[in-house]
A and B are shown apart, each in its own frame.
Chain A
Amino acid sequence: MHNSLISRPPINENTKTNSIKIVLLCLAAILSGCSQSKTTLPLDKEQSQINNVKSGATVQTDLPPHFPIGNPVSKEVIAGWDIDVRPDGLGLPEGSGSVEDGEELYEEKCSMCHGSFGEGEDQWPKLAGGMGSLTAERPEKTVASFWPYASTLWDYINRTMPFPAPQSLTPNEVYAVTAYVLNLNEIVDDEFVLSKENFATIQMPNKNGFYVDDRPDTNNQRCMQNCKDPNRIKVILGPKYAIAQMTTKNTQGSAETAQDSENKLAIDTYESSCKVCHATGIGNAPKLANQEDWAKRLKQGKDAIYANTLNGLNEMPAKGGRSDLSEDRLKAVVDYMLSTL
């Protein structure tokens, strides 16, 4: 649209009316990709697209039904990103995978976090068990006890598992791991082979366990006086605030040495970037504070461990995937990890 406008000669500033000035400002905002300033924005009276504007109007009336911005996108381009799967199976690719194949993949890529039986290591999600626990004091929301659709499982494994290597599984592998997790949940038997064709036959136990949000569910009133009996109020206190002490120490600045803050940075880096594998042993990573895991590496010497960290080793990418970090910081992280042995 504005290409044709740009070719017009600029109008004389003095001939413009106030109302046109307002519209020009609006139009300038629309044409933000255009580098013309408002004094040179090329419009003339005959070709003006703002015929219907009355004096003082602030609503632009010459806009198209929709802005023809953006480019058509082909089915092939969309297909690369269109990975979602719906409960009715829409979006599933061709393929299949057996419980048996899934077991092997699961042991290798999933069990270090989710546990060999889907019981969940540490705080990582529990995948199986918990049937009938949804009304218990501590409900266990697992695939069998809670998830309404098997498609969600396929979709989620495909889009973001295994946690340190998202979208690294082939469709057949996703079918297999999905089949195995369903098997851990006693939804399919040991011989089952999951495929695009039989996917819709999977029935999840808690399919009918959800209903659409029906809030508001409370109806409090603005009572102002004598709203309750003060003698019936029992106060349950939370923990005392302890961060205040840290605050005082840090603002003085001198209490924390440079070495302290270096160490803290190293621990923070470990916590945010390394722990995911080195706490769990994902990808055979040597675990923090585990002598046995580190014995072989320690024999090679600290410099070799530094070099492996910087260059990558086995499943670990160079710099543990944190290419933004300095060599010194990574070495400090290694020092910290070795200090736990």
Chain B
Amino acid sequence: MDGFSQKEEQKLLKTLHQEGNKLDLIERRQFLKNSLVMLGGGALAVKTGSVIANSNLPPSIPGWTRQLGEGVLTNPYGLPSEYEKNTIRRTVDWLTPDRISSVSMTPLHKLKGIITPNGLAFERYHGGVPNINPDEHRLIIHGLVKRPLIFTMEELKRFPSISEIKFLECPANGGMEWKVPQMEGLQFTHGMLSCCEWTGVRLSTLLDAVGVKPEGKWILAEGADGSAMTRSIPIEKALDDAIIVYAQNGEALRKEQGYPIRLMNPGWEGNTCIKWLRRLEIGDKPWYQREETSKYTDLMPDGRARKFSFVQECNSVITSPSPEVPLKDKGWYEIEGIAWSGKGKIKGVDISLDGGVSWRPAPLKGLILSKCLTRFSYMANWQGEPLLLQSRAWDETGYVQPTFKQLRAERGGNSVYHRNAIHTWKVHNNGSVQNAQLSD
């Protein structure tokens, strides 16, 4: 190329690439013209021929095909495409007085399969996210044990590790909808939910190491965050399937999820899965901490409240279509969604197009694992008719997800937590989708 050394040419091409990326399609045409002039025209113009057009669609050759892209390590830790910048967690600001003790929701409408990417897993903090140096963090296990022990993070990783895919859900998921449908989309009605592969050591393995005394019946789990978050966990759960987790979807636990270690109680309320875990005390009785008395208890219509309501019962929701994913043209669509149960595997999901008058089974697809998100799918040929879309899951215990009417009849409107009712989307004849509740 006339007048440029190879090095200069590469530098110029890189600049052009970076500048060109900032432009929209219409600007790009003029920019490319100018670039050709800068590069000395001739040879390059021949190569590019006559296909410079203000479109990247066929038959035009797209701009990104006609230039080099970014090299390795442009992003040492990779990020999603810039065109996915709306695939983000969102919050509802009026829910909490500040964002330190608050919650944000997973964009379920954007996700495929059963794994929630680490950066999109919903957040729930009671005192913000601590920034913990793992070298200065310890886990102490003490109380009614033969050998009280203190562990470094490296020592915990010497125990046999397990990896399991489990959902994690805040019991307040859907809790804003006990009286009226006040959320505008799926992210807000069901987004306090994520599902990851968790890696760590079984809590039972650690309890073997300390030797729990026979009178040890409860475990207090405590976090190292500014809320020093605590919950009392029955020893049965600890010995069954609880995990001390240090990795999430293959990488170190994210700090939002409890880095360097958290407790995972599969199928149970997310808040029992204490993050930034620093201490496990074995005792003979529960502690009745704030988060198991004032909060995370379920107020019933008679004025009494259920305590230790740990399990997240069977639930499901249609993720597409949804308010965020409307129908556009008439034709075939995949009605797709997720189902989950804190008591085991999903056995099946039915869907209704008419608000629950008639139901048909929707095939499950992909992995069907215990206490894990499970995908269902049903192909429908939509011809512009209004729909009342619902999904109804049942699990291997035989429990069938209840209607909202059934749940309200038992619990009234003030129990806040564990709202796992069959959900309704109203599909309008223009294809837009709106959150809805049915009287019957």
Q: Given contacts A32-B158, A160-B226, A238-B182, are A141 and B140 in contact (CB under 8 A)? A: no
Residues of B with C-beta under 8 A to A135: 301-303
Q: Establish whether residues A211 and B357, one from each chain, have CB atoms under 8 Å apart when the complex forms.
A: no
A50 to B375: give the CA distance in the assembly, Å.
43
| A236-258 Cβ-contact flags toward B at 8 Å (1 or 0) | 11111111101100111110000
CB distance from A6 to the nearest CB of B (A): 15
A222 to B83: give the CA distance in the assembly, Å.
42
- Residue B249 at the chain A interface, CB threshold 8 Å: no
CB distance from B122 to the nearest CB of A (A): 16
- Residue B436 at the chain A interface, CB threshold 8 Å: yes
Q: Establish whether residues A84 and B222, one from each chain, have CB atoms under 8 Å apart when the complex forms.
A: yes
- Residue B48 at the chain A interface, CB threshold 8 Å: no
Q: Establish whether residues A122 and B97, one from each chain, have CB atoms under 8 Å apart when the complex forms.
A: yes
A252 to B25: give the CA distance in the assembly, Å.
10
Q: Establish whether residues A222 and B209, one from each chain, have CB atoms under 8 Å apart when the complex forms.
A: no
Q: Establish whether residues B306 and A210, one from each chain, have CB atoms under 8 Å apart when the complex forms.
A: yes
- Residue B85 at the chain A interface, CB threshold 8 Å: yes
Contacting residue for B434 out of A81, A209, A220, A238, CB 8 A: A238
| A23-54 Cβ-contact flags toward B at 8 Å (1 or 0) | 00000011111000000000000000000000
Q: Establish whether residues B184 and A32, one from each chain, have CB atoms under 8 Å apart when the complex forms.
A: no
Residues of B with C-beta under 8 A to A239: 182-184, 435
The segment from B36-44, B111-119, B145-153 found at the interface with A is B145-153
Q: Given contacts A82-B142, A227-B356, are A72 and B290 in contact (CB under 8 A)? A: no
Within 8 A of A (CB), among B273-305: 278-279, 281, 283, 285, 287-290, 293-294, 297-299, 301-305
Contacting residue for A234 out of B101, B161, B435, B439, CB 8 A: B439
Residues of B with C-beta under 8 A to A59: none
The segment from B62-70, B366-374, B403-411 found at the interface with A is B403-411
> Nearest residue in B to A323 (C-beta to C-beta)?
B131
Within 8 A of A (CB), among B60-119: 82-83, 85-86, 90, 93-94, 96-101
Q: Establish whether residues B288 and A235, one from each chain, have CB atoms under 8 Å apart when the complex forms.
A: no
Q: Establish whether residues B305 and A210, one from each chain, have CB atoms under 8 Å apart when the complex forms.
A: yes
Q: Establish whether residues B180 and A82, one from each chain, have CB atoms under 8 Å apart when the complex forms.
A: no
A31 to B160: give the CA distance in the assembly, Å.
9
Q: Establish whether residues B426 and A227, one from each chain, have CB atoms under 8 Å apart when the complex forms.
A: no
Q: Establish whether residues A166 and B127, one from each chain, have CB atoms under 8 Å apart when the complex forms.
A: yes
Q: Given contacts A32-B158, A73-B140, A216-B399, are A235 and B438 in contact (CB under 8 A)? A: yes
The segment from A8-16, A94-102, A149-157, A329-337 found at the interface with B is A149-157
B contact residues vs A (CB 8 Å cutoff)? 24, 82-83, 85-86, 90, 93-94, 96-101, 126-127, 131, 140-142, 147-151, 154-155, 157-161, 180-185, 205, 208-211, 220, 222, 226-228, 230, 278-279, 281, 283, 285, 287-290, 293-294, 297-299, 301-311, 313, 323-324, 326, 350, 354-360, 388, 392, 394, 399-403, 406-407, 410-411, 414, 418, 424, 426, 432-440
Q: Known A-B contacts: A233-B357, A234-B440. Give 9 more (CB < 8 A).
A: A69-B209, A73-B150, A146-B294, A214-B306, A215-B306, A217-B410, A241-B324, A250-B85, A252-B24
Could you list 8 A-B pairs, sorted by A, with CB under 8 Å?
Answer: A73-B148, A77-B140, A84-B289, A86-B288, A167-B228, A225-B359, A250-B86, A276-B100
CB-based closest 7 A-B pairs:
A238-B181, A238-B435, A134-B303, A234-B439, A241-B323, A218-B402, A123-B97
